[in-house]
Amino acid sequence: MSDLLLEVEGLRKSFSGVAALREGRFSLRAGSVHALCGGNGAGKSTFLSIVMGIQERDGGTIRRRGRPVIFGSPKEALANGIAIVEQELSPIPAMTVAENIYLGREPVRWGQINFRAMNRAAQALLDDLGFAIRATDLMMDLSVAKVQLVEIAKALSYDAEVIIMDEPSSALGEHEADQMFDAIRTLKEKGKGIIYVSHRLSEIFDIADSYTVFRDGAYVGSGALANVTRNELIQMVVGRPLTEEFIKENVPGDRPLLEVCGLHAESGVFDVTFEARHGEIIALYGLMGSGRTEIFERLFGLSPDRGGEIRIDGQAVRIASPKDAKRLGLAYVTEDRKGSGLVLTGDVRSNICLAELGKLSRGPAMSTRAEARAARDMIQMFGIKAASDRLDVSGLSGGNQQKVVLAKWFLTEPRILLLDEPTRGVDVGAKREIYRIISEFARNGGAVLLVSSETDEVLGMADRVVVMRGGRVAGEVTRSDMSAETLVHMAA
């Protein structure tokens, strides 16, 4: 029997006349991790959803172990040994972890769902994977990272031969990602094939054996990762060479813009002190749960004052609500773009103008024109790939949705940017654009607080790193002393 688990050729798909996929080609061997690479909107998710029977193809062939197949639904794909962890998660919030994992195939006893058996099976699965999650917890009580881990556990519970993972790490911290990588290595040893999508190149070189690149909906190339350099891969993805991945043009000034003194916050932030100067990019680094997001929530007035002082330009300020925060020039890009950043049912224009409604609405006619202009500027500034600004955000690729969230906040002309995973799901070319925008913002005197689980990004962009551990500041590292080892060591 051949070890080719999956072969795809000439796969095509258009959405209302616009080609999303022109020539999808791919092959997957048993016992390998194959990275599917490509920029935002290159057609990766479209390709995978056709393979999985979620969407219909316009043309092309798919062979499963040499046999031509077309799956009419994910259920059929699953029955043929293919499971997926989708890019956009859709858990049922009011259900438990176990119910989500076994949805539609619950163990039954005497005509009733056997909850005890189901909870036991789910817990065994989670424990096996080393995921610290209780099977009886409600999905709505879990962090984004844990929801992601549950989705991974669910895909693995089918014991499929082919496992597709569409950006599984984008919501995970370093620690959770390591747990997932361990799980992937075990699957590989068992002879399974894993299709892995990620915009994090370090990760790809770490975990994958082979790669395939799509660009503008078409196959560009494939091979063994051992035979390609990081720069060569970037060039295939972007279509031209990138001389450097990071753009950093800001130089920190002397005057503090934001001072945080002895700050306490709900859910475990204790006595946190640091400052960000005009023109400075500060990274808050730490494991998930180390208090980074909680600091942002306190600074943006989303959680109550529990003590400590916040000063802006030397003046003590009170931030009791997001309205206070915005008035003081803060903007907050949250880690969960669907939960708090984006209105998926709204179009690109209204989403971009969402945070700035006050400034733009001076009479209905004016507002439409001002909105249209503002949206156009932002679409250009961020290079948002959308056919029209009246298109629903849900039709954009993941990375382009992220850019809409950033654009929305830049429009408020903030002085202090709180960025929680700002390049999540953003491709290597667009990341560079975002770095340029962030460093230009700092160069013009703004201060940036950056939370990122991508160590490369912290090292590439931060002037100083405040390392958090268990809700406290574990130490500070300046740019000249930064290394991945130092940061990981201090945070653990």
Binding interface with ligand ATP (CB under 6 A)? 15, 20, 38, 40-46, 87, 395-399, 427
- Contact status: 87 vs Mg ion (CB under 5 A): yes
Q: How far is the CB of 348 from ligand ATP (least distance, A)?
A: 11
Gap between the Cα atoms of 483 and 286, Å rounded: 14
Q: What's the Cα-to-Cα distance from 364 to each of 349, 358, 361, rounded to whole Å?
A: 15, 12, 7
Give the sign of the dihedral formed by CA 24, CA 25, CA 28, CA 34: negative
Gap between the Cα atoms of 261 and 218, Å rounded: 53
- Contact status: 148 vs Mg ion (CB under 5 A): no
Encoded tokens for 355: 């945070």
Identity of residue 263: L
Q: How far is the CB of 54 from ligand ATP (least distance, A)?
A: 10
C-beta closer to Mg ion: residue 25 or 44: 44
C-beta closer to Mg ion: residue 21 or 258: 21
Q: How far is the CB of 28 from ligand ATP (least distance, A)?
A: 17
Contacted by 38, from ligand ATP, Mg ion, none: CB < 5 to 8 Å by type: ligand ATP
Encoded tokens for 195: 């299709």
Contacted by 42, from ligand ATP, Mg ion, none: CB < 5 to 8 Å by type: ligand ATP
- Contact status: 402 vs Mg ion (CB under 5 A): no
Q: What is the DSSP string of 18-57?
A: EEEEEEEEEEEETTEEEEEE--TTSSHHHHHHHHTTSS--
C-beta closer to Mg ion: residue 302 or 434: 434
C-beta closer to Mg ion: residue 91 or 399: 399
C-beta closer to ligand ATP: residue 87 or 290: 87
C-beta closer to Mg ion: residue 396 or 449: 396
Give the sign of the dihedral formed by CA 456, CA 461, CA 464, CA 469: negative
CB 305 within 8 A of CB 297: no
Q: How far is the CB of 426 from Mg ion (least distance, A)?
A: 11
Q: Which of 11, 26, 45, 176 binds Mg ion (CB under 5 A)?
A: 45
Helix, strand, coil shares of the chain, percent, nearest 5, are 40, 25, 35
Q: How far is the CB of 88 from ligand ATP (least distance, A)?
A: 9
Gap between the Cα atoms of 434 and 406, Å rounded: 9
Gap between the Cα atoms of 194 and 253, Å rounded: 47
Q: Judging by DSSP bridges, how do beta strands 281-285 and 447-451 pair with one another?
A: parallel
CB 39 within 8 A of CB 429: yes
CB 325 within 8 A of CB 296: no
C-beta closer to ligand ATP: residue 214 or 441: 214
- Contact status: 46 vs Mg ion (CB under 5 A): no
- Contact status: 169 vs Mg ion (CB under 5 A): no
Q: Which helix (H) or strand (E) holds 309?
A: strand 309-312
Gap between the Cα atoms of 82 and 103, Å rounded: 17
Q: How far is the CB of 214 from Mg ion (least distance, A)?
A: 10
DSSP 348: H
Q: How far is the CB of 214 from ligand ATP (least distance, A)?
A: 7
Contacted by 46, from Mg ion, ligand ATP, none: CB < 5 to 8 Å by type: ligand ATP
With CB under 5 A as the contact rule, which of the stretches 36-44, 70-78, 314-322, 352-360 interacts with Mg ion? 36-44
**Tokens 């060479």 -> residue:** 241
Contacted by 15, from ligand ATP, Mg ion, none: CB < 5 to 8 Å by type: ligand ATP
Contacted by 41, from Mg ion, ligand ATP, none: CB < 5 to 8 Å by type: ligand ATP
Q: How far is the CB of 182 from ligand ATP (least distance, A)?
A: 25
C-beta closer to Mg ion: residue 87 or 169: 87
C-beta closer to ligand ATP: residue 396 or 466: 396
Nearest to 210 by CA among 31, 373, 376: 31
Number of residues that bind Mg ion (CB under 5 A): 4
Q: How far is the CB of 397 from ligand ATP (least distance, A)?
A: 3
Tell me which residues touch Mg ion (CB under 5 A): 44-45, 87, 398
